[in-house]
Structure 1
């Protein structure tokens, strides 16, 4: 048994070593290790122990541990996807995801045809390029006609597709309540499982000086320690950016700066239809939001570069099956913009002053979490699973509310879906939202989102039980400025059976 264990560790080490060699940071890392190997700190007669000590004293030991930490996290995510492709019985759900992706891209292509432009874009006119360059730091003053442009899709469009999902009929279906997602056989956690997963959130551990503790953890520069500290939801504002960068592995290196410069140059040189969609989205959402309108200029910068970043889809590695009989549709370099996409980036404006630092941490957050909220998939933290989790928690722990929604013939998921798909961005005040996203990063879980949705409905239960129309329900839930998520979540996780 020990031999098998050793062999497994050996093969894992080889695989991780090969993956590190393919990373952008490998060249600089290799040079740093070479310098240490050649230094007097390393004794050739006892190279193993002296090299380990030298790596530790020079801080490279922590850097390498952090690299391995991020590689393992991303590998676990990819291994799930590979397994699901080969053995997941919910093939209909995966096909729905493919069809949704094609529908979105087809809509974008149709818009290109209407506007008589190509999806690949065209060289930007010199006058336009000059204006864009001059106004790069104040793009709110960049004049552009957006009257004929509309979002490719909105959250309600995705919800309609989710509600129309039809799986294979099972005999036991007749025994189950007719929920919107009850026929989908994805496993989701019960409240006991959630309590165990979020146990650190409800542990009563008193810290005399939280700010000092954060400073000590940051000095160690150890990503897992930073992640653990985020689980408390008490990160001081001045340290949040550093913690998020460590957990997401998004510290800006020279190659990142070079990548940003290339993306910016692409914005200057090429006029894409997604540019108009980005401008339109920022104006429809962040510009009209009292909390985010002041960040309009930086959001244009970040989202325009985001729209050019071909690495995003490569990292996400979406599994789109090519069927020879099905027409294929091209897509933009990056993600197809939808109504509200910039709200995934907007909260980062409260954390980072530098657009470059903001961009790479936002990009890492989007790749690890946000893209799951806008695609149809079988992942346990995908939007379908989160909807199913919300539905089961509501029926199990708020049966009166559930029955009330049924009696007035309103689907509860329609009320909260915008919260789920945006991870509450634009709905919670920024200071509370950032605490929520601290918890997402700390526990590496989006399941906190439907749990919070249930808590809010419970908190407003008395008012909700007295109204019978969608408009009045939305009015009851429109203002979340008084919501304090930490005490509510802790109460919910502590008291529910």
Structure 2
């Protein structure tokens, strides 16, 4: 048994070392280690102990630990999933019980890219962009910090897709299971047929147990001091643990998020940002118009975010040019015949509301560079799962299934009311789930909700929170009989407080 454990540890160590060598931070850390080896305090006769002491004194131990922490929960976990899939069957097959869902994911991505290609053809613009003419380039560069004053004709441009388009595709999914219900009178609740494992309330309560601790952190006088000490220690797991409290001091939230998401700035990050910015300056891309259009339709019309319009242009334009994103985002793989279509450099096709994933970060950072890297890390780890059809436990399909099961189990009256009205409950809350409540909750409460997402490393809090909001407005919902009326009741969430409602949801019988 011990030999097996040793072999497992050796195997994991080898994987971690190989993964570290592929990170951008490897080279600067390696150079620092080389300098430490030459340090007079490192004794060649006791190299191991003296070098370890030197590494600790220089603060490199913490940095290496943080790298390992982030690798284990991101890249290495994805590698393990792929290896397991290869062992179980090498390639996905039609006999896969979730094959229809994976196929739907591939087809959805293909449909989105096809729409973008069709728009390019219709407007007679190249998909891969074209060099900006000299006058336009100079104008763009001069107005880089005030792009809201940059003139651009957007009359013929429209969002490639909106949340309702993805919802319609999800509601039309046909699984292998067949229902015996009378479909003439009762609408189909397709998500109940999807064989994805989701947690019940007991399992959610165990996962979010820290939120139900009897000692409240609200009003603790030394909370700020605790936060300062944790940030001074620079340990990412400690920062993540602190976010679980749900009462992060606002001035320190940005630093905590950057630590948890491993998005602290390095010299090579600044150089890469400048490279992305130059790509925006020199190349005119159809995605630029879609970004401008989206910000003007959403953030610019939002009382909480319109002041950040110029920063959002910078961040999302650079995001569209970032080719590293495509290699970090997971997409479903399934053999589907038909033509494939290319996408933008980042691989992410802008949709209606994409800027609302970035907008809340404007409250955390003054610098667009800091904002960009933390937003990018958050998008890669969480947001992209909300806009693609996938089988991941944190994906939008799993979250929709979790929502329906929780609603049916803990709010049977509401569930029956929706069925009688022949309204899919998801139509009411899907825009919340897909945007992670951005643009729907006040920024101060949204940031608390996202604290919990980062702290517990889970998007499952989104359907749980959606359920408790419906419960909170249950009396009013039960008195109306149309989707428009229900949406009107739920339109204003300005009085909602995240932490007490989540705690209430978890403590239900």
For residues 229-282 of structure 1, the C-alpha deviation after alignment (integer angstroms, 9 at most, x for no partner) is 000111101000100000000001111111111111110111110100000000
Q: Equivalent residues in 2 for 1:477-496 (5 A)?
A: 477-494=490-507, 496=508
Q: Which runs of 5+ in 1 are unaligned?
A: none
Asked if 1:66 corresponds to 2:66, the answer is yes
Paired residue for 2:194, among 184, 194, 198? Answer: 184
> Counterparts of 1:285 and 1:83 in 2: how far apart (Å)?
41
TM-score (norm 1): 0.97
- Shift, 1:223, TM fit: 0.2
- Shift, 1:136, TM fit: 0.3
> Mean Cα displacement is larger for which, 10-19 or 107-116?
10-19
Q: Equivalent residues in 2 for 1:186-201 (5 A)?
A: 186-201=196-211
- Shift, 1:178, TM fit: 5.0
Match of 1:236 in 2: 249
- Shift, 1:204, TM fit: 2.5
Match of 2:296 in 1: 283
> Counterparts of 2:82 and 2:164 in 1: how far apart (Å)?
26
Report if the CA contact (8 A) 1:36-1:54 is conserved: yes
Match of 1:100 in 2: 108
Asked if 1:36 corresponds to 2:36, the answer is yes
Structure 1 runs of 4+ aligned residues shifted over 6 Å read 171-174
Paired residue for 2:214, among 204, 225, 229? Answer: 204
- Shift, 1:80, TM fit: 3.0
Asked if 1:426 corresponds to 2:427, the answer is no
Q: Which runs of 5+ in 2 are unaligned?
A: 90-95
For residues 425-476 of structure 1, the C-alpha deviation after alignment (integer angstroms, 9 at most, x for no partner) is 0000000000000000000000000000001000000111111111111110
Paired residue for 1:417, among 406, 416, 430? Answer: 430
Query: Structure 1 residues 34 and 147 mapped into 2: Cα distance closer, same or farther (>3 Å)?
Result: same
Asked if 1:327 corresponds to 2:339, the answer is yes
Q: Equivalent residues in 2 for 1:59-208 (5 A)?
A: 59-74=59-74, 75-80=76-81, 83=84, 86=88, 89-169=97-177, 178-205=188-215, 206=217, 207-208=220-221
Report if the CA contact (8 A) 2:103-2:335 is conserved: no
For residues 27-49 of structure 1, the C-alpha deviation after alignment (integer angstroms, 9 at most, x for no partner) is 11001111112212222222222
SS of 1:182's partner is: helix
- Shift, 1:84, TM fit: 5.2
Query: Structure 1 residues 406 and 319 mapped into 2: Cα distance closer, same or farther (>3 Å)?
Result: closer
> Counterparts of 2:84 and 2:8 in 1: how far apart (Å)?
19
Asked if 1:462 corresponds to 2:475, the answer is yes
- Shift, 1:208, TM fit: 4.0
> Counterparts of 1:201 and 1:114 in 2: how far apart (Å)?
52
Match of 1:55 in 2: 55
Name the count of aligned residue pairs.
494
> Counterparts of 1:351 and 1:332 in 2: how far apart (Å)?
28
- Shift, 1:318, TM fit: 2.7
- Shift, 1:77, TM fit: 3.7
> Counterparts of 1:172 and 1:70 in 2: how far apart (Å)?
47
> Counterparts of 1:306 and 1:8 in 2: how far apart (Å)?
38
SS of 1:307's partner is: helix
Query: Structure 1 residues 82 and 365 mapped into 2: Cα distance closer, same or farther (>3 Å)?
Result: farther
Report if the CA contact (8 A) 1:173-1:183 is conserved: no
- Shift, 1:25, TM fit: 1.2
SS of 1:306's partner is: helix
